[in-house]
């Protein structure tokens, strides 16, 4: 059982716990935006339910009512979905674990974006995969590169992608590439694992169609999550997939933990019955867009010219690129933390095959606008001192 550099990750997580450090590290939503009063009401009523059902065991696939509500959310988002195509998960992270468990034997290749979501590499690790990393540009995965890689790795069966506001780069897969990716999946017998935690945190324009909505042969496992649009603490995510895949995922769910928390499912279902999730999402979009602008303005003002950052259309992160030779891990340890008292996630850990240490992921959702200005100014001054 091989694992991804656990000590490095733990050390990073520990940073978030030091209250004297201003952290742009985690992917935390802003706690000030949590709909606390509404959650109070739905938890109160779920616990008070005279049947006691919200406190009891529940079906392993999830509460039927919540599966239907998620199917309706998916359908309204342009991905026609029936309730029996929805499996409730313990966060979408659980879907990453299941997909690798189901589709990847030790030594087989998973295709990932380069860079990719670190948590996915952690989830895939117990399946002991190899990786082929596909370069990213502003339109998402480079599909010419993917096609070359597919020719060289006939054992690749699973491709993992965050098509909307990717973690860590913020890039969104363009519409032509979405169509072409489906075509490549069909021709090369791939399963596409589409992870969409940030999809609804869009700052401008209309959503692009999900890969699932373009799927012609039942090859897409779509993962969604309430973590960024409601609260992370519920650990509520879902998979949508064609029946043969969903049935196997569903068996893994029974085996893994029997079910997701009944109470969290019941309260979330009440929330969706009573409250306007889209209105809440609109609030989040406006707030995170403002925070992104505050951060990018501050970066333009304070960072050295030779540091470039992405300007994502949504999500929680910007991705910084430092000059060649810059080691973002060493700089964090030696300067950013002790001098600027600011944290980010060094970019090296996001590369599945060849770490490029001159990158960093910087989160703009968790901190207040004032703290963003203050932290970026401190980090910028520190960079100017040492670059």
Q: What is the dihedral of CA 210, 216, 133, 6, to 10 degrees?
A: 60
Q: How far is the CB of 20 from a second copy (least distance, A)?
A: 16
- If one asks whether residue 59 binds a second copy (CB under 8 A), the answer comes out as yes
Q: Are strands 22-23 and 359-363 parallel, antiparallel or unpaired?
A: unpaired
Residue choice 161, 167, 259, 318 for contact with a second copy (CB under 8 A): 259
Q: State how far the Cα of 270 lies from the Cα of 43, in Å rounded to an integer.
A: 9
Interface residue with a second copy, options 12, 21, 58, 99 (CB under 8 A): 58
Residue 138 contacts a second copy per CB under 8 A: no
Q: State the nearest-atom distance from the C-beta of 172 to a second copy, in Å.
A: 24
User: Measured from the CB atom, is 23 or 310 closer to a second copy?
Assistant: 23
Q: How far is the CB of 84 from a second copy (least distance, A)?
A: 13
Shorter beta-carbon distance to a second copy: residue 102 or 387: 102
**Helix 262-274, helix 64-76: angle, nearest 10:** 50
256 in contact with a second copy (CB under 8 A):
yes
Q: How far is the CB of 331 from a second copy (least distance, A)?
A: 25
Does 286 bind a second copy (CB under 8 A)? Our answer is no
For residues 293-322, which are near a second copy according to CB under 8 A?
none
209: DSSP letter: P
What are the DSSP E strand ranges found in 34-188? 86-90, 109-114, 130-137, 140-141, 158-161
The two tokens of residue 17 are: 């716990």
Is residue 235 involved in binding a second copy (CB under 8 A)? yes
Running DSSP on this structure, what letter comes out for residue 29? P
When asked if residue 274 is in the footprint of a second copy (CB under 8 A), the reply is no
Binding flag, residue 277, a second copy (CB under 8 A): no
Size of the site for a second copy (CB under 8 A): 62
Taking CB under 8 A as the criterion, the residue among 13, 76, 175, 330 binding a second copy is 13
Taking contact as CB under 8 A, which single stretch among the options 32-40, 66-74, 315-323, 370-378 is the one that binds a second copy? 32-40
Nearest distance in Å: CB 264, a second copy: 6
Q: Return the residue of 252, 270, 307, 340 that touches a second copy, per CB under 8 A.
A: 252
Burial level of 292, CB count in 10 A (0-12/13-18/19+)? buried
Residues 6+ away with beta carbon under 8 Å from 236: 88, 89, 90, 91, 225, 226, 227, 230, 260, 264, 265, 268
Sole window of 186-194, 253-261, 335-343, 352-360 interacting with a second copy (rule: CB under 8 A): 253-261
C-alpha distances in angstroms, 294 versus 13, 322, 347, 365, 367?
25, 20, 22, 11, 11
Complex with a second copy: residue 54 or 346, whichever CB lies closer: 54
Contact call for residues 173 and 185 (beta carbons, < 8 A): no
Sole window of 179-187, 244-252, 270-278, 336-344 interacting with a second copy (rule: CB under 8 A): 244-252
CA pair distance 238, 229, nearest whole angstrom = 13
- Give the footprint of a second copy on residues 74-113 (CB under 8 A): 89-91, 93-94, 97, 101-102
Q: Does 126 bind a second copy (CB under 8 A)?
A: yes
Nearest residue to 24 (alpha-carbon basis) of 227, 318, 296: 318
Taking the complex as a whole, the smallest distance from the CB of residue 275 to a second copy amounts, in Å, to 15
Q: Strands 191-195 and 345-346, how do they pair?
A: unpaired
In this chain, which of 109, 116, 262, 318 binds a second copy, going by CB under 8 A?
A: 262
C-beta separation of 318 from 295 below 8 A: yes
**For residue 77, which phi and psi values (nearest 5 degrees)?**
-85, 10
State how far the Cα of 142 lies from the Cα of 148, in Å rounded to an integer.
10
Residues engaged in binding a second copy (CB under 8 A): 1, 3, 6, 9, 13, 26, 28-29, 31-32, 34, 36, 39-40, 43-44, 47-48, 51-60, 89-91, 93-94, 97, 101-102, 119, 122-126, 231-235, 248, 251-252, 254-264, 266
């Amino acid at each position: 059982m091989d694992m991804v550099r656990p000590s490095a990750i733990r050390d990073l997580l520990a940073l978030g716990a030091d209250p004297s450090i201003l952290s742009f590290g985690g992917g935390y939503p802003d706690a000030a935006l949590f709909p606390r009063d509404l959650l109070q009401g739905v938890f109160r009523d779920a616990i008070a339910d005279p049947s006691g059902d919200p406190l009891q065991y529940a079906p392993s696939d999830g509460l039927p009512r919540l599966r239907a509500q998620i199917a309706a959310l998916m359908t309204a988002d342009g991905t026609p979905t029936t309730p029996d195509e929805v499996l409730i998960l313990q966060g979408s992270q659980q879907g990453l674990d299941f997909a690798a468990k189901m589709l990847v034997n030790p030594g087989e290749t998973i295709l990932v974006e380069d860079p990719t979501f670190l948590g996915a590499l952690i989830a895939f690790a117990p399946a002991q995969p190899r990786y082929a990393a596909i370069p990213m540009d502003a339109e998402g995965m480079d599909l010419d590169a993917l096609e070359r890689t597919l020719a060289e790795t006939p054992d690749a069966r699973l491709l993992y992608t965050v098509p909307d506001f990717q973690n860590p780069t913020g890039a969104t897969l363009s519409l032509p590439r979405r169509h072409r990716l489906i075509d490549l999946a069909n021709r090369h017998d791939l399963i596409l694992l589409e992870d969409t935690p940030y999809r609804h945190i869009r700052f401008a324009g209309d959503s692009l169609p999900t890969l699932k909505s373009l799927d012609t042969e039942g090859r897409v496992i779509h993962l969604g999550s309430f973590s960024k649009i409601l609260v992370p603490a519920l650990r509520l995510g879902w998979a949508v997939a064609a029946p043969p895949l969903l049935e196997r995922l569903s068996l893994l769910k029974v085996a893994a933990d029997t079910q997701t928390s009944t109470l969290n499912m019941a309260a979330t279902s009440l929330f969706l019955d009573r409250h306007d999730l889209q209105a809440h999402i609109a609030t989040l979009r406006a707030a995170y867009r403002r925070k992104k602008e505050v951060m990018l303005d501050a970066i333009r003002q304070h960072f050295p010219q030779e540091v470039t950052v992405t300007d994502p259309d949504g999500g929680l992160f910007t991705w910084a690129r430092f000059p060649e030779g810059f080691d973002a891990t060493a700089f964090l340890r030696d300067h950013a933390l002790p001098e600027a008292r600011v944290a980010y996630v060094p970019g090296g850990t996001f590369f599945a095959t060849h770490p490029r240490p001159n990158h960093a992921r910087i989160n703009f959702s968790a901190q207040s606008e004032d703290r963003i200005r203050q932290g970026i100014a401190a980090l910028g001054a520190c960079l100017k001192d040492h670059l």
